[in-house]
Amino acid sequence: MKEREVIIEAGLNLENTYANLPKIFFTNQILGHVPSPKIAVLNYPLIESLGLNAKALQSDNGVDILSGNKIPEGATPIAEAYAGHQFGNFTMLGDGRAMLIGEHITPKGERVDIQLKGSGRTPYSRGGDGKASLGPMLREYIISEAMNGLGIPTTRSLAVVTTGESIIRETKLPGAILTRIAASHIRVGTFQYAANWGTVEDIRALADYTLKRHFKEENYSGNPYIFLLKEAIKKQADLIAKWQLVGFIHGVMNTDNMAISGETIDYGPCAFMDTYDPRTVFSSIDIHGRYAYFNQPNIAGWNLARFAETLLPLLHINQNEAVNIANDAIADFPNQYKNNWISGMRRKLGIFNEEAEDEYLIEGLLSTMQKYEADYTNTFRDLTISKKEDIALSGTVEFEKWYDLWQERLKRQEKSEEDSRELMKNNNPSVIPRNHRVEEALEAAADQGDYSVMEGLLKALSKPYSYSKEQDYYSTLPETSSCKYKTYCGT
């Protein structure tokens, strides 16, 4: 009774409709136990938006729920099964260190997954311990909240709790569990799993569930699975364009890391680009640059083609006709992405109307930035608020020529200079989670138990377009280093 009261006080309103799918898609989980759970970080704005009660979540029972020590009422803990092309190689996967405890229904009627990441072994752990260490969980918390602040569709981080355990990686590290909020965890890899190890009816059940979960029935007519494919393509064209516009590099765009909902998911070896270089790679294992910045749109199209393959039995009774339908839909992705990207770049440059030569103007700036190793974010920031002579590229022949062309372009629209500046401010972040600032925050929190540095960073990242004086510290560039920044998946 006492636990039930805490659940009610916390505001949790749980179901698990995913568990109604055929049993092939998941395995019921028995909760593990961590010895001494304590809250490291709690996301108060997210708690409020979900209709939860922060005080109740901070109680002993609340912490037990966030650590997986207790099952809240209405929960059906499961580990989801999925597959994926990892760096092009297909393999069976699944939630190897995560547990979906259920779907929370918010006061507005929205349905979101609540998943515990780092909660222990599952049937899909492939020999791993299923645990997570504190640093990578805090890192996901920071980056996902930064993405939310930037207005990019993303999973969110509700909390990080330490477990009181030591996790063995290269050394002993403090254990932690992250509570992740997502529109759902249905991935391209989930459909690949169904197509490879299930039946056509399993694929249909998953597709029907995905349609019901993420799309309104009144928005489509005819074959609903063609609609599903086209909507997934549309969402990814929008998402990847948003990544490119802020210089975000995911690091591991495997098919199991592409959510059908169109959210950014699985923050492992990801980071934001400092110096503009399209070849930038952050993952320590991406030695061939498969997931480099410039290649992200191509990989998204490749992943979507794999998604389309899984739907072929549902697209048309005739195999050849199904392939044609899929090919036509996938062929439209590059155009959708490019239109989104160019529109976004126009906004970054304060341009309201369209002209055929805009792409030439955009590419002219980017090539100059690459040649002179200019900082991506700060170049657009300086164009937004600085005088011409204060911009880092000022004085170079290429930039002077480009700047004149840009000024002439701005004159060929009805909007005022003030309108253009406002448009630029709303589309060029003053601050991003720069790698050296993220590492600074993680070192203080994970190594020294000082969360004040992380709190300051998160505050700045929550309003990246505000151009406040307090953000100047987070806009400073890192010291020059001969070693390229690398990130790791944390497993």
DSSP code per residue over 151-184: T--B-EEEEEEEEEEEEESSSEEEEEEEEEEES-
What backbone phi and psi angles, to 5 degrees, belong to 222?
A: 75, -145
Task: Please report which confidence band the pLDDT of residue 5 belongs to, taking 50, 70 and 90 as the band edges.
Answer: very low
DSSP 187: B
In 3D space, the residue among 252, 128, 113, 270 whose CA is nearest the CA of residue 189 turns out to be 252
Here the contacts of 338-345 (C-beta below 8 Å, separation 24 or greater) are 340/237, 340/238, 340/241, 340/242, 341/241, 341/244, 341/245, 341/297, 344/241, 344/242, 344/244, 344/245, 344/427, 345/245
Mean pLDDT over the full length of the chain? 94
353 close to 359: Cβ distance less than 8 angstroms: no
Helical pair 376-385 and 417-425, crossing angle rounded to 10 deg:
150
Which residues, 6+ apart, have CB-to-CB distance to 63 below 8 Å?
Answer: 37, 38, 39, 57, 69, 161
In 3D space, the residue among 347, 376, 362, 361 whose CA is nearest the CA of residue 151 turns out to be 347
DSSP 389: G
In 3D space, the residue among 140, 95, 83, 126 whose CA is nearest the CA of residue 255 turns out to be 83
Percent of the chain with pLDDT over 90: 89
pLDDT at 411: 97
- Cα radius of gyration rounded to whole Å, the chain: 23
Task: Please report which confidence band the pLDDT of residue 482 belongs to, taking 50, 70 and 90 as the band edges.
Answer: very low
- pLDDT digit string, tens, across residues 202-223: 999 999 999 999 998 878 889 9
CA 204 to chain centre: 27
Q: What is the dihedral of CA 291, 267, 439, 39, to 10 degrees?
A: -170
- pLDDT digit string, tens, across residues 248-295: 999 999 999 999 999 999 998 999 999 999 999 998 888 889 999 999
379 close to 276: Cβ distance less than 8 angstroms: yes
Asked whether residue 317 carries a pLDDT value surpassing 50, the answer given is yes
Strand partners, 157: 180
pLDDT at 484: 57
CA 218 → CA 11, 221, 325, distances in Å? 31, 8, 22
Asked whether residue 7 carries a pLDDT value surpassing 70, the answer given is no
* Strand ranges inside 264-422, DSSP E: 271-272
What is the maximum span of the chain, computed from C-alpha positions, in angstroms?
Answer: 74
Asked whether residue 419 carries a pLDDT value surpassing 80, the answer given is yes
- Rounded to two decimals, the pTM is 0.95
In 3D space, the residue among 134, 181, 169 whose CA is nearest the CA of residue 38 turns out to be 134
Least confident range from 41-45, 433-437, 483-487: namely 483-487
Task: Please report which confidence band the pLDDT of residue 481 belongs to, taking 50, 70 and 90 as the band edges.
Answer: low
**Which positions are catalytic?**
256
DSSP string of 17-84, one letter each residue: GGGGS-GGGEEE------SS-EEEEE-HHHHHHHT--HHHHTSHHHHHHHHTSSPPTT---EEE--EE
**C-alpha to C-alpha distance for 264 and 273, rounded to whole angstroms:** 17
